[in-house]
Structure 1
Amino acid sequence: MKKWLLMTIFVLIIGVLAACGGGNETSGGKEGKEKVVIGYFPNIDHAPAMIAREKGYYEEALGENVEIEYRTFPDGGTFMTALKSGEIDTGLVGPGPVLNNYSNGANVKIIGGASTGGTVVVASEQSGIENLEDMKGKTFITPGIGCTHDVQFETFLMEKDLDDLASARIGGSLKHVTGNPATYQGMFETGQVDLAAVPEPWATILIENGANVVVSTEEIAYGENLPNVVLVASGNLIEENKETVQGLVKAQQKAIDFIHNNQEETQDIVIKAIKDLTKQEMDKEIVAKAMDRMTYTTEIDEEVLKEFGQSSFDLEFLKETPNFDGLVLKSN
């Protein structure tokens, strides 16, 4: 079975998982315990959550009086909806959805980093794209409109200042569509799309299946400096239980330390965690290559986040000039 078909099955299963995860309450745990619901995606850039879950770091940091529940999500939009509605309390998500929701008044804050880098723009073999000029009039795909990877790619194009080298949404010649990265290989093969601005491990999967890298992680806007996944929490959790928030940050740091010191075991845990959720096993060599394009860190460069947010406004994803003061929770 081709990898793209496996990935298509993968995304369908994830969708079912997300749908089946509804109805969780964030309080009133067993035997009067406080309940904390943690969300994340079954992607390798969310490895800190998988490691912390597997190793019991959340339980260790939050204590025996806290009951922990987990939910997985297919995209940042559904994650943020769950966070704002109180279905989850905290978790890992890309900065794009967080910035967009915060600018619209959502009571959320970033409490730590998770990973940086990993966004790559690749072109299908049959697209004929070999340089930037070849992109004109082509179709590109990203996981969502105004998502982290979309903003990175469109900012990269904007900085090149080439005629028509922009999304048709803002007057350029490029057609923009969206979809889950697990389906991109099939869309490449059928000629539905020419380019993809995609996170790992999907970039490596596409490359292994013949796609060409046209914009590397190092070249794309905000490349290796932008947090591509952050640890975010609801304002209610932050206001009502600072000790829990501190414990989450502590568990995150411990998970990232483990990743740095145990690469081989980390890959095994991530592969198993994804297989448990999706019933599909990722190739270890692909996971290793994908992880090489990322850096796992709890550090947050707030200025880069603000610049990224300004880019979202310049690209007309945000209607008003953003103010992201207070978005990143300052450590005591």
Structure 2
Amino acid sequence: MAFTAMLVFLSACGGSSEENETNEVTIGYFPNLTHIATIVGLENGYFEEEFGEDITLKTKTVTNGGLFMEAMATETIDVGTVGPGPLLNIYVKDPSYHIISGAVNGGAVLVADNDSGVTELADLDGKRVAIPVIGSTQDVMLRKALQEVDLSPTTSGGTVELYAAAPADTTTLFSQDSVHAAATQEPWGYVLETQANGQKLLDWDEFAWGKESTNTVVAASENFMENDALTESYLKAHLRAVEFIQKNPEESQALVIEHLKELTGQELNADEVEAAFNNLEVTTSVNEQVIQEMADISLEAEYVSSNNIDGMINLSILEGLKE
């Protein structure tokens, strides 16, 4: 059964939980490949099955982590997948949101325009680089990579200009010579290579923390987590989706293509999706050291006033389900 965003596919038909009277859950995610676990969970009906008939499920798609966290803060998203960068930016101000599982490692690349003269990382000196949004996970990853060649963004006194743009718009930016490179998630990196004269500067296993780079996590609001049954239901569905993807990569890619076609009206090329899929790892693991380093970089960038993220990562329910 295909699942269209914002479609209510169940009606509330039972009583509320004794623990929490919530009878409606809104799942948030982005319309891209790094949110494959959520998409497969929806397409295969895992969330519907695990939450049961007493819970009405809705979905909400957003295009960047800032919008995701804004929706979570206004209680229009309860749980879903987002990059750790936007989550930690909010957490240090309001510790009401938590990482309850990993979702995807890798899946982000750094691509340069072939006509830009940029052939290695150091060539970004004086150049403009597209990122999804200021404070995004790709922003933080780019800052980490620039540190390795003694460069920094103009906002931190350096020479590399960061330019916020939706990933889907970066092909146009390349063709207009408006940016020289892009730090982006898949499949947009592959699209830049094949459709916009791009060349990969750093592959997914080289960019920032490489294969250990945590790109997407499951985030939940504290209100949602007050109901253990709801949290367990989500994570059971998430675990099933991750296992399905690991065992059935081709079928999972087809589900993503169909889902995004219904969502956006555009059909991704199967070869592009396959190539992009090979640039990520679907997992429930969370690299806490990497996320702490991301918080440190966010503090240096003055995106946050503190790098104290103690308590942000709460994997207790996930670990209990794995036992």
Q: Give, as a single letter, the amino acid of the residue that structure 2 aligns with 1:232.
A: A
- Distance, in Å, in 2 between the alignment partners of 1:128 and 1:39 is 39
The match for 2:208 is 221
Task: Write out aligned runs for 1:154-173 (5 A).
Answer: 154-161=143-150, 165-173=151-159
Tell me which moved more, 75-84 or 279-288.
75-84
- Distance, in Å, in 1 between the alignment partners of 2:193 and 2:62 is 25
Cα distance, 1:131 vs. partner? 2.1
After superposition, the C-alpha distances for 1:212-269 in whole angstroms (9 at most, x for unaligned) are 1112222221221122011111101112x11110111111010010001111111110
Cα distance, 1:129 vs. partner? 0.9
- Distance, in Å, in 1 between the alignment partners of 2:13 and 2:154 is 52
Q: CA RMSD in A?
A: 1.9
The match for 2:110 is 121
Q: Which runs of 5+ in 1 are unaligned?
A: 1-16
The match for 1:74 is 63
The match for 2:233 is 247
The match for 2:85 is 96
Match of 1:60 among 32, 37, 49: 49
The match for 2:190 is 204
Match of 1:107 among 85, 96, 105: 96
After superposition, the C-alpha distances for 1:197-218 in whole angstroms (9 at most, x for unaligned) are 1110000000112201112222
Cα distance, 1:303 vs. partner? 2.0
Match of 1:329 among 288, 311, 314: 314
After superposition, the C-alpha distances for 1:91-149 in whole angstroms (9 at most, x for unaligned) are 11111110101011141111111101011111112101112332211111100112100
Q: Give, as a single letter, the amino acid of the residue that structure 1 aligns with 2:296.
A: Q
Aligned residues: 305
CA contact (8 A) 2:145 2:207 kept: yes
* SS of match in other structure, 1:126: coil
- Distance, in Å, in 1 between the alignment partners of 2:55 and 2:88 is 29
* SS of match in other structure, 2:286: coil
Relative to structure 1, the CA distance from residue 69 to residue 174 in structure 2 (aligned partners, 3 Å threshold; closer, same or farther) is same
* SS of match in other structure, 2:162: strand
Cα distance, 1:66 vs. partner? 1.4
Cα distance, 1:312 vs. partner? 1.3
Which aligned segments of 4 or more residues in structure 1 are displaced greater than 3 angstroms?
A: 28-33
Q: TM-score, normalised by structure 2?
A: 0.90
Match of 1:139 among 123, 128, 152: 128
Percent identity of paired positions between Structure 1 and Structure 2: 36
The match for 1:234 is 221
Match of 1:194 among 172, 180, 185: 180
Cα distance, 1:316 vs. partner? 2.5
CA contact (8 A) 1:39 1:71 kept: yes
Cα distance, 1:30 vs. partner? 5.4
- Distance, in Å, in 2 between the alignment partners of 1:278 and 1:50 is 14
* SS of match in other structure, 1:127: coil
* SS of match in other structure, 1:38: strand
Q: TM-score, normalised by structure 1?
A: 0.88
- Distance, in Å, in 1 between the alignment partners of 2:119 and 2:31 is 32
Cα distance, 1:315 vs. partner? 2.7
- Distance, in Å, in 2 between the alignment partners of 1:67 and 1:135 is 48
Match of 2:298 among 312, 317, 332: 312
Q: Give, as a single letter, the amino acid of the residue that structure 2 aligns with 1:193.
A: V
The match for 1:42 is 31
The match for 1:14 is none
- Distance, in Å, in 2 between the alignment partners of 1:287 and 1:146 is 26
Cα distance, 1:171 vs. partner? 1.0
- Distance, in Å, in 1 between the alignment partners of 2:96 and 2:268 is 36
Answer yes or no: is 1:294 the counterpart of 2:280.
yes
- Distance, in Å, in 2 between the alignment partners of 1:29 and 1:137 is 56
CA contact (8 A) 1:155 1:315 kept: no
* SS of match in other structure, 2:59: strand
- Distance, in Å, in 1 between the alignment partners of 2:254 and 2:148 is 39
CA contact (8 A) 2:65 2:83 kept: yes
Relative to structure 1, the CA distance from residue 329 to residue 132 in structure 2 (aligned partners, 3 Å threshold; closer, same or farther) is closer
Answer yes or no: is 1:185 the counterpart of 2:143.
no
